[in-house]
A and B are shown apart, each in its own frame.
Chain A
Amino acid sequence: MSLDPKPGKSQENLLKKPIDGQVLKRLIEASLTWLRTNQQIVNSLNVFPVPDGDTGTNMVLTMQAAYDEIAATPEYNFGKMAHVVAHGALMGARGNSGVILSQLWRGFARAVDNYAILDLPTLVQALAVARDTAYKGVVRPVEGTILTVAKDVAAAAEAAIKTVDDPTAMLEIIVKAADLSVQRTPELLPVLKEAGVVDSGGKGLFFILEGMLRYINGQTLETTTNTVRPISDMLLENSMDSIEPGQDFEVIVDFRPDEPLDIVNLYNDLQQMGTSIQLGEGDGMYRLHIHVPNENVYKPIDYTRTLGTVTKIAIENLVDQMANLEKDCDDRKPVLSPIEPGQIAVVAVSPGAGISRVFASLGAAAIVEGGQTMNPSTQEIIHAFENQPTDKVILLPNNKNIVMTAKAAAGLTVKKVAVIPTRSVPQGLSAMMRLIPSGDFDSVVAEMTSAIDDVETGEVTIATRSVEIDGVEVEEGQIIALHNGKLVLSALTLEEACLGLLKTAHADHFELITMFYGANVPKKEVFHIADIIRNVFPKQEVEVQEGCQPHYQFIIAIE
């Protein structure tokens, strides 16, 4: 499509001429171009009530079908051309909004049936018929949608016909009415208000009408009004990932400019203040997002106040936020690979999401959440394996308190269930390494059971009460280390506890130290401790894994 009127050069003569079929063709073309330019904006508004896929895309495809029908038609009769448009829209109607749009065109075409030239009274009548036709298509019209916008447009045209006799002025009134109507849609439809958006179909209809007006006024149709994105497109959550020095604060300012913004100058000025600049636009207001160093915190606010009315300001300390973010554990569910019928299914009990993911990656068929203070029930364990397409099941309790439960579960099913008495996560993982899913059940069980003694288990946690066990005195709140379930030392820092534990376990005789860190340790500290361990045990491979387990700062496998 090659439709690019030079900005500033008015096309007004188009409506000064008699409005015939060829004029309609060019207006439709302009509508389609403008709608397509703003397609993503319309898409981004999409919320329920209409599960419509992407409203913007659907409306563009519907208008495209209408335009394809008329593109090569040399028809001068307005009424006949309108029928071709309606036919094309009908054939191409996609999605809910597309169907409504096609009905609007159908009604419009019917009203201008016998008119070779469109005059204003006919236009007003046609808009009313379009509205009526569209409303006929549904038993319970939902207000606050494209239907409401069509209704308001028709009403505005009807009210204006007495005073207006210039088609351009009429089009301006229509576009204005559509704009206002779109802005009112959240008042009529609560679901829009909750989502903080206007109706997408209504907005699409507005762009169709506005495209015509922009074309008449010689404004560009190929680029959106500004080089800014709709607010909903701003990916503010992700922008935090890349914090660099000098980005101490994140400032977000919502403002309504008094005059149209000069985007280029705006960006230039903002770049003096900070980085990571994003500008979003929505319904006459803008949202500015910027990262600034300490000394510039208030500059973006002062600056936007010179542009217009500031409606909302949010400032967040990024450095602090990052520290908090790092503590958060990645609690994605593990991706389990289903087993083939008849194979051996392994059900592992896991205390944390990270550990679950490791078990899943080693081929566990199901994971039961549970650990030190949250023992799973027999029922939960049975649930985990009874739907597996096999009668050969191996249970890994991975905690000494759960071994009994697992054995009870094994006794309550007709399936052949073996419990490998793994008393810790490292033992469970070690057993898991020997799993051959399609192997002979008894020999696999024997092999896996023999593997659990290949690994030494270390656990680091905080004492919940003062006690003396095995000659080790512990104060409540101190950090304690357990080696194969036996309390070996208490310490004041995590670092001290880890090193002491590894020495007790003679880690220097082993090859691999894997540390699963818990949900309660900041990553920074984890990596710091891992570095120290690498220095003290230079011959051992030290691996750090996210475990996400509660209570235990570290679960350490030494093998």
Chain B
Amino acid sequence: MSDETTPFGSISVSQRAIANIAYHAALETYGIVGLASKNLVNGWAQVLVKDPTYGVEVHYDGQDINIDLYVIVEYGTRIKSVAHSASSTVRFHVEKALGMPVNEVNVHVRGLRISNLD
């Protein structure tokens, strides 16, 4: 939970809600074609997860918000650039929605998707 206390009461935002924001922001990032389960043990069947909390991990220790993204990147893009813009897009959207600073967004590239163009 991320908490904030105002003179009128307190506001708390669940990790899952933050994960949702990050999930949608990530999917709008160019080059990201999906999110992957963080445990590869769960198998490739789950590689393109629908449930945001599988591909996004949100850690909140009462001070900082840290986000881990597990992503699938389109083959043929420059992965470094894609990861960088995913990180900043997610940071921007989460900070905009929450009004709280995000400490770090870690992008873990779990795989590449090779599109069959022909």
Contacts and interface: CB of A to CB of B under 8 A. Distances in A.
A114 to B, nearest CB: 13
A138 B31 CA distance: 5
Given A106-B76, A138-B30, A98 B89 contact: no
B34 A139 contact: yes
A102 B91 CA distance: 24
B96 to A, nearest CB: 8
B28 A96 contact: no
A110 B117 contact: yes
Classify the interface of chain A: helix, strand, loop or mixed.
Answer: helix
Contacts of B29: 96, 138
B92 A51 contact: yes
Nearest to A98: B81
Given A99-B81, A106-B76, A137-B74, A51 B88 contact: yes
B32 interface: yes
B103 interface: no
Interface string B70-108: 000010111001101100110110000000000000000
Contacts of A138: 27-33, 74
Interface string A69-98: 000000000000000000000110111101
Nearest to B74: A137
A95 B32 contact: no
Interface string A46-59: 00111110000000
B76 to A, nearest CB: 6
Nearest to A111: B117
A50 B32 contact: no
Contact of B77 (A50, A93, A132): A93
Contacts of A106: 76
A91 B78 contact: yes
Nearest to A65: B78
Classify the interface of chain B: helix, strand, loop or mixed.
Answer: mixed
Given A91-B78, A93-B78, A140 B27 contact: yes
B5 interface: no
B6 interface: no
Given A99-B31, A138-B31, A132 B117 contact: yes
A90 B78 contact: yes
Interface in A89-135: 90-91, 93-96, 98-100, 102-103, 106-107, 110, 129, 132-133
B30 A99 contact: yes
Contacts of B27: 138-140
Nearest to B84: A95
A95 B33 contact: no
B78 A96 contact: no
Nearest to B76: A106
A102 B77 contact: yes
Scoring B27, B31, B76 by chain A CB atoms within 10 A of each residue's CB, the highest score goes to B76
A146 B27 CA distance: 17
A93 B76 CA distance: 11
B10 interface: no
B33 A50 contact: no
A91 B89 CA distance: 22
B42 interface: no
B12 interface: no
B30 A96 contact: yes
A41 to B, nearest CB: 22
A488 B88 CA distance: 62
A142 interface: yes
B85 A99 contact: yes
Nearest to A134: B30
Given A94-B81, A99-B82, A142-B28, A136 B88 contact: no
A91 B79 CA distance: 10
Contacts of B32: 138-139
Interface in A132-178: 132-133, 136-140, 142
A443 B21 CA distance: 56
A331 B66 CA distance: 34
A106 B114 CA distance: 13
Interface in A1-53: 48-52
A94 B81 CA distance: 6
Scoring B28, B81, B84, B117 by chain A CB atoms within 10 A of each residue's CB, the highest score goes to B81
Contacts of B81: 93-96, 98-99
A90 B76 CA distance: 8
Nearest to B89: A51
Interface string B1-44: 00000000000000000000000000111111110000000000
A101 to B, nearest CB: 10
Nearest to B91: A51
Interface string A449-473: 0000000000000000000000000
A50 B85 contact: yes
13 contacts: A50-B85, A51-B91, A90-B76, A94-B81, A95-B85, A96-B29, A100-B30, A102-B78, A137-B30, A138-B74, A139-B27, A139-B32, A139-B33
Interface of A: 48-52, 90-91, 93-96, 98-100, 102-103, 106-107, 110, 129, 132-133, 136-140, 142
- Top 4 nearest A-B pairs (CB, nearest first) are A93-B78, A137-B74, A51-B88, A139-B27
Interface of B: 27-34, 74, 76-78, 81-82, 84-85, 88-89, 91-92, 115, 117
Given A99-B31, A129-B117, A138-B33, 12 more contacts: A51-B91, A90-B77, A96-B29, A96-B85, A96-B89, A99-B82, A110-B117, A136-B117, A137-B77, A138-B31, A138-B32, A139-B34
